[in-house]
Amino acid sequence: MNSSIKYNWADKSILIADDELHNYIILEKALKKTNIKIFYAENGEEAVKIFQQNPDIDIILMDIRMPEMGGLEATKYVRSLNRNIPIIAFTAYALSDDEAIALEFGCDDYISKPVRPEYLLQKINEHLTK
């Protein structure tokens, strides 16, 4: 992947749901140069609330294991509101069946942590340009 590719998503928004603040900070830094508007949720319950208040969000990066409400449950709820929004499961606990489970719950894609920023941006771009 060529890291010199520049993405301009000034007209797009992303919801990042992750209970680990340091993960969010890393993601925010990687996304900053794209000009995308970022919403942040610390758990699935907060992610659902933010999505309800901002139904025009373009893409969601959803951690699977979070307190309050997990990412899979939150994904299921978001899917009941919007069948088409791209949701990428994003987890550090990459077990062999996690990807299949995430896709079964309605995620469109799956990325395991840690991830190279270039790969993350490429994946997001794939879903934003479908």
Distances (CA, A) of 60 to 2, 6, 96: 24, 20, 22
User: Residue 1: what pLDDT?
Assistant: 44
pTM to 2 decimals? 0.93
What is the per-residue DSSP string for 55-76? Answer: TT--EEEEESS-SSS-HHHHHH
Q: Does residue 94 register a pLDDT over 80? A: no
Tens digit of each residue's pLDDT (9 = 90 or more) over 12-49: 999 999 999 999 999 999 999 999 999 999 999 999 99
Pairing, β 37-41 against β 59-63: unpaired
In contact, 65 and 99? CB cutoff 8 Å:
no
Q: Where are the domains of the chain?
A: 16-128
User: Residue 96: what pLDDT?
Assistant: 67
CATH value of 16-128 in 3.40.190.10, 1.10.3720.10, 3.40.50.2300, 3.90.1200.10: 3.40.50.2300
